[in-house]
Amino acid sequence: MKLSRRALLASALATPAIAQAQGAWRPDRQITMIVAFAAGGGTDVAARTIARFMEQDLGQPVVVLNRPGAGGEIGFTELARARPDGYTIGFINTPNIVTIPIERRARYSLDDFSLIGNIVDDPGGMWVLPDSPYKTLADLLAAARTNPGTIGYGTTGIGSDDHLAMLALERATGTKFLHIPFAGSSQVKQNVLSRTIPLAVMNVAEGLNDMNQGTLRPIAQLGETRWDRAPSIPTLRELGFDVVEGSMRGMAAPGGMPTEIITRLAESVKKTVDNPEFQKLADQQFLPLRFLAPDAYRVELVGLRTRYQALWNQHPWRE
């Protein structure tokens, strides 16, 4: 009888004693790490940094493979459909990993993944050029009211944290902007720097280096409170609008992966996050680290799925 992937996963999780008896898993060939967004973006940079440290711990090359498009669905689907043998892993991002199956008939669901651990929790942000006429959020909102639907903003896709944040801001302020989705934050940034669009909505960590170099200027960040690496940037809550959004970036593998492999990979990720050398690099890259072990990570993602399903029922973000 052919078992479903979900049944295989349940079987693997139900037999930890067998996994322990077999000993710790040791990879014997290259591991592929799928990134569902374009090269050069925040997820890609974090993935390549983490891959280097995991290589040292696992003793095998960890090669990043970019599979951008459809707001992450292309890469997430490829990851979900890979063999659950430990040799294909990948980054998954919120909210996309849970919002895509809510908004359309996706080729994967959250249950199609074995979770390894969360690594980054990055608040959203709003960015313009230094000489932009929008000096403050009030300036931006006033212009949007005067010319509704004409001020373009770039995001990493429909249903991304950036997109949902702007939809929430539109509802809270009675404004209307023009959404322009891209395959990754690096493309969003390029289009703002080239003056193709006036506003980038992307995570704070993805804009801080540009802010320090004077090539981008922040208008607001979207965390619950100000991030300590960006203490000068006000939150939308401080500016009078209860809009909180961000992106968790963690690692997963195809569903049904044996417990011993999940445990070994989660251990490798935790070692990386705890490594002082990695923490120094993460600090330089403005990566807000937040490790969650597999079980805690699943609880967080299931909670987010419930929240976004309720939001979709009230305010579908279909475009």
Name every residue whose Cβ is closer than 8 Å to that of residue 180 and which is 6 or more positions away in sequence. Answer: 152, 153, 154, 155, 191, 197
For the 5-12+26-122+246-314 domain, the top CATH level (class) is: alpha beta
CA dist 221 and 224 (Å) reads 9
List the domain boundaries for the chain: 5-12+26-122+246-314, 123-221
Domains 5-12+26-122+246-314 and 123-221 share a fold: yes
Indicate the length of the chain as a whole number. Answer: 319
**Helix (H), strand (E), coil (C) string for 40-74:** CCHHHHHHHHHHHHHHHHHCCCEEEEECCCHHHHH
Buried b (16+ CB within 10 A) or exposed e, 124-140: bbbbbbeebebeebeeb
**Axis-axis angle for helices 185-193, 42-58 (nearest 10):** 140
Name every residue whose Cβ is closer than 8 Å to that of residue 318 and which is 6 or more positions away in sequence. Answer: 103, 104, 158
CA dist 180 and 155 (Å) reads 7
Q: Do 121 and 246 contact (CB within 8 A), yes or no?
A: yes
pTM metric for this prediction: 0.80
Instruction: Give residue for tokens 């090539």.
Output: 215
| Per-10-residue mean pLDDT, the chain, length 319 | 43 39 80 94 90 96 95 95 98 94 94 97 96 98 97 92 94 96 91 98 93 97 93 96 95 97 97 97 91 97 94 87
DSSP 237-268: TTTT-----EEEEEEEEETT--HHHHHHHHHH
Q: Identify the CATH assignment for 123-221 out of 2.60.40.1660, 3.20.20.150, 3.40.630.10, 3.40.190.10.
A: 3.40.190.10
Q: Do 272 and 57 contact (CB within 8 A), yes or no?
A: yes
